[in-house]
Chain A
Amino acid sequence: MADAPECSQELAFFGQVTASVTHELKNYLALINEYNGLLCDLVMAHEMGRELDLGRLKSLCGDIKRQVVAGGAVLDHLNGLAHSVDQQVRTVDLGRCLGLFVGLSRRSDARQGVELELMPPPEAISLRTQLFTLLRGLWQCLEAALAACPAGGRLTLEAAIEGGQARLSLRGATPAGPGQAACAPAAALLSALGASFSRQEDGSVRLCLPLDGA
């Protein structure tokens, strides 16, 4: 993505996220399909004389409901991404934005065998920015952290106000090697956000953003 024009990079980001999210949705539908199929199988077996296990049926109904709720949450996240371009610049609640981001990136980090945990900010943090651009910046920070995070690892996303800025940290990556150190958000993107990116000695990556009104 680094060599593509900025407009293409935005489309590429949108494509990456929607590919990942729609794949996740397909998995929920596949599970619902199997639970429904098993319900039909058990009913058919009952019609052929097998005893009906009501507890199993109730359990399967609960399983279907759970997958519908989980799939609905994924759709909400996708809808959130679609609406992130509605306004060029607006006041963004960072805690809500991070919740949306973690929801959108869940499959992407799981595919690499890494769990991403969000620590909600201890206080409300407001930014004046374009939500879509902020999500892109977060995505590229995550890619930078994942490049240096072993499979089976855990990344923790934290946010706090520090030195008059919003400071986002992704902890859990190992100190990066020469190839991994090159993985960082694009300069044009950081410029659009008015942000600075750094990789700490312990491997964690950090994004600092101006607060609303700063």
Chain B
Amino acid sequence: MRVLLVDDEEELVTTLSERLALRDIESDWATSGEEGLRLALASHYDWVVLDLKMPGMGGLETLRVIKRQRPDTQVMVLTGHSAEDEFEAVMRAGASHYLLKPLDVDDLIAKMQA
């Protein structure tokens, strides 16, 4: 399984990547929507874990382009605080899951493997 982690908090994605590696899951990371989109379109990922609120290209816009150009790629969206309208927009755009921070990495993996 290959995973792409996208969050403007570099320390978050690098640490999460290290934790996934300890579970033998290969991951790449990006710190902006633009960079994440470039990686997602240039390579195959089974899952993209995408932060919603990022400077520049936000998570929702990134999600829409990924699902339009790589419909087979599964996307999980991360957010700090849940909002009903945000949840609906994200799910309508094709996200598989809408997760709240802080993450439970084992729950994350269980959702990927389900």
Contacts and interface: CB of A to CB of B under 8 A. Distances in A.
Contacts of B19: 34, 37-38, 41
A34 B15 contact: yes
Nearest to B11: A31
Interface string B35-68: 0000000000000000001011000000000000
A22 B81 CA distance: 9
B88 interface: no
A45 B80 contact: no
B62 to A, nearest CB: 15
Contacts, number: 58
Contact of A30 (B18, B53, B80): B80
Interface in B63-101: 80-81, 101
Contacts of B105: 34, 37
Interface in A20-35: 22-23, 26-27, 29-35
Contact of B103 (A33, A42, A111, A112): A33
Interface residues of B, number: 17
Interface string A95-121: 000000000000000111100000000
Interface residues of A, number: 23
17 contacts: A23-B53, A23-B80, A26-B81, A27-B101, A30-B103, A33-B102, A34-B11, A34-B15, A34-B16, A34-B19, A35-B15, A38-B19, A110-B55, A111-B53, A112-B55, A113-B56, A151-B55
Interface of B: 9, 11-12, 15-16, 18-19, 22, 53, 55-56, 80-81, 101-103, 105
Given A151-B55, A151-B56, 12 more contacts: A23-B81, A26-B80, A27-B12, A34-B16, A34-B103, A37-B15, A37-B105, A38-B19, A41-B22, A111-B53, A111-B55, A113-B55
